[in-house]
Amino acid sequence: MSKPFRPLAEYTEFVKSQVFHTSPGQQLRDWISVWSRLFQSMQGVNAIFELSSLVIARWEFLGALYLGTEGDSDYHDALAYSRQFLIPINRNYACVENLVDCLDPRERFDLFTMLRNKPLHGLVAAGIATPDNKGVVTWWIGFHKIAPENHLTVDRNGGLHLDGSKFCEELLQSVASFADYQDANTDLVEGRLPHARWRRGYWARFKPKFMKCSLRMAEGVKFGV
């Protein structure tokens, strides 16, 4: 007895109807409305670690759409998004890329390492150790007790201050900037315009596991926006 499978062309048409039915700019503005309500509800129950992790997960997702990442997304996508859309809002985002000095020349995103996964999988954020293991940058995170001028700065005791409310506000501001960027559709990155990278990155999020075909190869589908 053969197993039931959904034809690829039918599935990709379904994806098109669900996520490519409107322009990238409009979809981003719709997310601002939805995410704003979600963040407010999480603040209402003081879910500060979970909320911080979710915000950074959104950077990763949006960065994959910005770059047109075909494989699994990771901190590289979040870092690209931060540099393009968050640093212009708050220069302190540049300071949280490397919270400790290290001779290793490889690119890092220490805030991503601290907050992306550990709050969801291990309840608390991860400290960032110095290369000699003699020091650590920890965290000081909250909704109401962080002085605005200390947001995204490390104090003399090695604590990174993060204002959860501002963290959410800055994400939503950055999404509005990303929407305007998509509307313009003029910035070439690796030979692709924003809309083309958006479609490429979005298909990668929906592409079934083990499937080797690219968006262009998906049978019978033309993703226009």
Task: With a cut of 80, say whether residue 219 has pLDDT above it.
Answer: no
Q: Domain range holding 73?
A: 22-206
H helices of the chain, in order, are: 8-19, 24-44, 48-67, 75-81, 110-115, 118-121, 164-184, 194-206
What is the pLDDT, as a whole number, of residue 220? 43
Is 171 a member of any domain?
yes
Whether residue 124 contacts residue 49, with contact meaning beta carbons closer than 8 Å, is answered with: yes
Question: What is d(CA 57, CA 112) in angstroms, rounded to the nearest whole number?
Answer: 9
Task: With a cut of 80, say whether residue 62 has pLDDT above it.
Answer: yes
Strand partners, 153: 161
Is 36 a member of any domain?
yes
Q: Give pLDDT tens digits for 8-38.
A: 888 888 888 887 888 999 999 999 999 999 9
Is 218 a member of any domain?
no
Q: Give pLDDT tens digits for 43-53.
A: 999 999 999 99
Is 102 a member of any domain?
yes
| pLDDT (average), residues 64-89 | 95
What is the 3 state secondary structure string of 6-39?
Answer: CCHHHHHHHHHHHHCCCCHHHHHHHHHHHHHHHH
Q: Give pLDDT tens digits for 147-180.
A: 889 999 999 999 999 999 999 999 999 999 999 9
Structural domains in the chain (count): 1
Is 37 a member of any domain?
yes
Is 217 a member of any domain?
no
